[in-house]
Structure 1
Amino acid sequence: MNNQFSILSNNNQKKRVETIVAMAVYHADNVVWLEEAMSSITTQDYRDFLFVIVVDGSVPKIILNTVLDASKRDSRIVVAQNSDNVGLASSMNSAAEFGLTFEPQFFVRMDADDISEPNRLSRQVSYMRRHSYIAVLGTGLTEVNEHGVKVGARVMPASHKQIARILPRRCALNHPTVVIRYNVFRDGYRYDISLMNTQDYFFWIKLASEGYVFRNLKDRLLKFRRVNNFYKRRGLSKSLNEFKARIYAIIKLKQYSLYNVAYAFGVLALRLMPGKLVKLAYKLDRHLLERFGKH
């Protein structure tokens, strides 16, 4: 596949910005949720950013027109398109590489069905300014259903030590909430484009093994859309990739233990069970995370 990444709309006049916010859009995205996601970024109380929206392959006209119309109303929105559907990893790499031109300091993740709280960017950017040794900063999130009603929450372990310790068992950052210091990309690191899922998990393991420092804020700065089929969406491919990531983390982070290995095999077995059992396991996982991953 010879994908072409091209800019469809760019009315930005700035030569430098502090932050790049990146989001990918797909053919099956919900237009109402997409509009809410975009609005939650453009109405942030922090303003020094470019919002790079990557249309990943062919999408319905209503989706394309929605993002193009938004770019006409706000010059901070840049719309790009992949000629083929290449996935999140490649889309984020392209957005990050495009952003290098503007000499930014921070790269912010956003998804097209989530909602950032109004102070999300100001809270995370100010924290990163004050803590120059931190390479990746995540936050907690509130889980909402199709109607925007709260159905749960997810707050991850805070310190780098806790995050690194738990990586062989779970992805310890909420990917849609992260801010990555741009030096990570300038140092040559990228998401693995061979992965259509779990790309963030592998990325964090690689960075942790190279000495980059992580942190999670317990503030819930993003509303994450947890829809009815949430527990069924993982499928065999994602379950196997999560298993591979856990083994990869055990090796790269040198956290060899019977517990970590048993956990990897146990979760794989659970993922392959019926949806109701997966839902039960998800709830148990949240309970254990809150009990043993205290801040």
Structure 2
Amino acid sequence: MIPISATNNQFVLQSTYPIASSVSIVCGMSVYINDRLEWVKQAVESVLNQTLPADLFMIVLDGEVADDIAIYLTQVEKENPNLALVHGTTNKGLSACMNYIIDSTLPLKPRYFFRMDADDICVPHRFEKQATLLDKHDDVDVLGSALWEVDEQGNRAGIRRLPLTHSKLLYAFSRRCPINHPTVAIRYSVFARGHRYLPNMRNTQDYFLWIALAEDGCKFANVKEPLLHFRRINGFYKRRGRGKSVNEFKARLLAMDSLKQKSLQNYCYALFVLILRMMPSWIIKVAYKADRFILGLNKHN
């Protein structure tokens, strides 16, 4: 057993137990000041209670967090040998937190990196299902899944599905982010090739990473079964920030260019979505439900 060598002075590792010298599955999650204790507990417990547990579950406290969350995480870290906390000196954003986990754990030669968000809930067999499929299909580098959308009380509001096969996913890149980020499992061989989340991105970082991986020849797939409960909180349909909407527009343009998908139809679609994001929330809500319905029609692709 050896400790992880923390080389980044912007992050401080807290681990009561030594880290194994070799691990197979790493799960990465971050929490920040606006997270809610109840949801963080549900997220953490859903990871710790997996039928195939992560060998290492790393949670980054991205800058200052609420006292009750800090106390809870400190206690749960002491009770679970496979859980380690990382304290960020300041809020750096999701990209920096995930990149720290990736860089810190690469020397341990893991096989799979699982993403988790602090307000979502994994189904109990999520890790086992995705790890088994990746074991069987060594040509797949990034594996996502469908998800249940739930409200603030945890009530299911519907299923969000995306295309299943690489060819269908690749075709979708210029239209939408084709992988539900909180559901993803990624081979560490992808990171060994030098790929990382863009550190300067505060949103849509997953979309840009998928485009870079697709351009590099990585293969994608989605599991048809919903393997995560995704929290659709109040304000979900409100206007997105201008920065996020612009970044999504830039990602679509990048996908068209990088993946040779330039067309008048794709350009018009990207511009239409950008304009739509600036509309009142009720229009966005109708458009979102229509989009989910269309995705449902294509769920067998």
TM-score when scaled to structure 2?
A: 0.95
Q: Which residue of 1 aligns with 2:166?
A: 160
Q: Which residue of 2 aligns with 1:80?
A: 86
- Alpha-carbon distance between aligned partners in 2 of 1:211 and 1:234, rounded to the nearest angstrom: 31
Q: Which residue of 2 aligns with 1:29?
A: 35
- Alpha-carbon distance between aligned partners in 2 of 1:247 and 1:13, rounded to the nearest angstrom: 42
What percent identity do the matched residue pairs reach?
A: 43
Q: Which residue of 2 aligns with 1:59?
A: 65
Question: Which ranges of structure 2 fall in alignment gaps of 5 or more residues?
Answer: 1-7
- Alpha-carbon distance between aligned partners in 1 of 2:54 and 2:149, rounded to the nearest angstrom: 28
Corresponding residue to 1:123 among 112, 121, 129: 129
Q: Which moved more, 1:169-178 or 1:229-238?
A: 229-238
> Is 2:79 aligned against 1:95?
no
SS of corresponding position for 2:234: coil
> Is 2:199 aligned against 1:185?
no
CA contact (8 A) 1:12 1:76 kept: no
SS of corresponding position for 1:16: coil
TM-score when scaled to structure 1?
A: 0.97
For each residue in 1:243-294, what CA deviation from the matched residue of structure 2 results, as whole angstroms up to 9, or x when unmatched? 0000000000000111110100000000001111111111111122222454
Corresponding residue to 1:112 among 96, 107, 118: 118
Change in 2 beyond 3 A, CA 1:10/1:129:
farther
SS of corresponding position for 1:230: coil
Aligned residue type for 2:90? D
Moved over 4 A (4+): none
Query: How far has the Cα of 1:101 moved from its partner?
Result: 2.8
> Is 2:215 aligned against 1:215?
no
Q: Which moved more, 1:190-199 or 1:97-106?
A: 97-106
Corresponding residue to 2:238 among 213, 232, 235: 232
> Is 2:55 aligned against 1:49?
yes
Q: Which residue of 1 aligns with 2:202?
A: 196
Q: Which residue of 1 aligns with 2:152?
A: 146
CA contact (8 A) 1:10 1:79 kept: no
- Alpha-carbon distance between aligned partners in 2 of 1:142 and 1:160, rounded to the nearest angstrom: 22
User: How many aligned residue pairs are there?
Assistant: 294
- Alpha-carbon distance between aligned partners in 1 of 2:170 and 2:58, rounded to the nearest angstrom: 30
- Alpha-carbon distance between aligned partners in 2 of 1:180 and 1:13, rounded to the nearest angstrom: 21
> Is 2:16 aligned against 1:14?
no
Question: Which ranges of structure 1 fall in alignment gaps of 5 or more residues?
Answer: none
SS of corresponding position for 1:146: coil
Query: How far has the Cα of 1:142 moved from its partner?
Result: 0.2
Q: Which residue of 1 aligns with 2:5?
A: none
Query: How far has the Cα of 1:63 moved from its partner?
Result: 1.2
- Alpha-carbon distance between aligned partners in 2 of 1:18 and 1:264, rounded to the nearest angstrom: 39
CA contact (8 A) 1:3 1:84 kept: no
SS of corresponding position for 1:52: strand
SS of corresponding position for 2:106: helix
Aligned residue type for 2:246? L
- Alpha-carbon distance between aligned partners in 2 of 1:236 and 1:253, rounded to the nearest angstrom: 26
Query: How far has the Cα of 1:233 moved from its partner?
Result: 6.1
Q: Which residue of 2 aligns with 1:250?
A: 256
